[in-house]
Chain A
């Protein structure tokens, strides 16, 4: 996940490196995602990765829905 100055620079980077354009988030959305994903203490003995279902709830709760954000299906 990379940082860009603008959508135009995302488009240019994708074109230059021959990548399909993915999805973009604002920094505010990224901060909320970071808080939700990394808020727990991973050094705690009881910590575990979220289940698939929990991860889906986490993403959808941040408005990250649709095929790009789906954790299921063809990889």
Chain B
């Protein structure tokens, strides 16, 4: 049974998502420590607890890789028009950025098979594209087995 309690580390979580909204990507541990006037080691421990709770995904060095739907690193799913520009972790997350921000955006997408450009526009609460479908390679129960691949 899942835990119905709020996700942990509310102060860190609030800063992470505020950074995503205002800068388009999650902050480093050092930036978070500086903003919250805490030690970097405490913030890294908080990041680890948030990763354990499946709120964040971390890089091998303990920095944030994903604060879903935002990516800390460039991906094939750039989201433009939403302020500021950002990267989604996958096409679902790229759609999640305007869904979370309640704004219009264009995802500069491409076909994963052939590379054909496939822009996806979100405007006025609707999605428009000249084509394109989303493929989920893994069944839902396996998504968190390897979230980077998923």
Contact = CB atoms under 8 A, between A and B. Distances in A.
A14 B77 CA distance: 20
Contacts of A43: 13-18, 21
B140 interface: yes
Nearest to B54: A49
Contacts, number: 179
22 contacts: A1-B90, A2-B134, A2-B137, A4-B134, A9-B114, A20-B137, A22-B135, A22-B136, A25-B133, A30-B91, A30-B92, A31-B99, A31-B126, A33-B95, A38-B69, A41-B17, A42-B7, A45-B10, A49-B54, A51-B1, A52-B1, A71-B141
Interface of A: 1-7, 9-10, 12-14, 16, 19-31, 33-35, 37-39, 41-53, 59, 64, 67-75
Nearest to A19: B137
B61 interface: no
Contacts of A46: 6
B121 to A, nearest CB: 10
Interface of B: 1-7, 10, 13-18, 21, 53-55, 67-69, 77, 90-93, 95-97, 99-100, 109-114, 116, 118, 120, 122, 126-127, 129, 131-142, 145, 150
